[in-house]
Structure 1
Amino acid sequence: MSRHQEPKALPKPLKRPSQARAKFTVQALYDAFVRIWRRDGPKAANTKAVAAEAGFAVGTVYDYFPNREALFSGYVRHSLELLLARIDAQVIAAGGLAWDERLARLVRITACVDRDAAYFDAAMLAREHEVAEPKHHRRFFDELTAKWTEAVRSWSDLTPQPPDLTIRALCVATWGARRYVLLVGPPAEALGDWVTELERVARQALRTPPD
């Protein structure tokens, strides 16, 4: 690259849906994108194929995504926003549950091992650098650790409350391990054992006051 040449801008969606109909349309496009990706492979998940799979004209896709890289970028952001929203709804707002039950939910949602998690695989992880800069990773990680802290601080039955450092470390352990697990692809039974053990470690860390 010439020193006078501007770095190439990363692909991104043209706009974010705000109305209910637009949100429905974009969700349908994401669902079609994932079905094609899983069934036919990443190369097949282009804008034309996604439009046909979702039952829309290709122009509808272009209203939001100028190309498939932008569609992938939007889907990655969507999957992360869904994770944060689920922590809000299923952990922070779940006031009728004991703290250890809410902790188990928090770990499993962050580890993306339950049936409601957005689909994300090793091939998507390998291409993530094409649509995300380090600042994007940092922003999401700051949001995730803040959400973990908010969740734990809402557990009035957890006494004494752990320091922020403990909460952050558990978040790092869960999210970091989740991303590495995508690379190594352990068998399903091993994945279940890993998450169960991670929950146990997190419970122990939150129950033990720091020195």
Structure 2
Amino acid sequence: MTPEDEREILALMREARKKDRGYANFFSWPPDRDLEELGVVQSLQEALAHAGTVPFTDIASRGRGEDPPDCEARNTSGQRIAIEVTELVNGKAIAAFKKGDRYNWACWPRREFLTALTDLIQNKDKRFPKLKGAPYPGGYVVVVHCDETELSAAQVAAFMEGAAGIACSYITQAYLLLSYDPALECCPHFLLPLIETPHLASSEGTGNS
């Protein structure tokens, strides 16, 4: 490593320290948002592979200005997949943490959790017409990552039991990805139930970047 490389790494570390929010930040890679999104999708791929399935490969970040989608990949047939990344986190808890309240973890009742999750997925579903670089014949995937202390894998599994499907017109698959679990040697993940709803056939989602 050259002295120039060391200086660049130190500069990135200082910048990351300034922007570190300190709360629910397992998946945070400040100041590089592109790297964060790519890391989330790669973590999901590792978790899926650990479970014995690899639905997509060749993951790549599209980068600022070329999004949405945040990333793209290819399915087992070689078709391009659009992947959007979003986060389930309590903004009020982040604000409290930054003010010095280090133990003010967000409380997540089942209804609040399911409502927040549904809102995130449906908001991404609405973004389909804005996807750049289309078409994406392999589908449109959304990954929700979460590092909330009160949302353990066991708690999420209990909340998801019997949960209704999320109505979507364009999303083909949606996942919830939790922070790394040493016992599992990967990040716990959940394939979210979706309900396909009709949409008007048009040129939506076919624009080029």
TM-score if structure 1 supplies the norm length? 0.30
Alignment TM-score, normalising by the size of structure 2: 0.30
Structure with the higher fraction of residues in helix conformation: 1
Q: Which has the larger radius of gyration?
A: 1
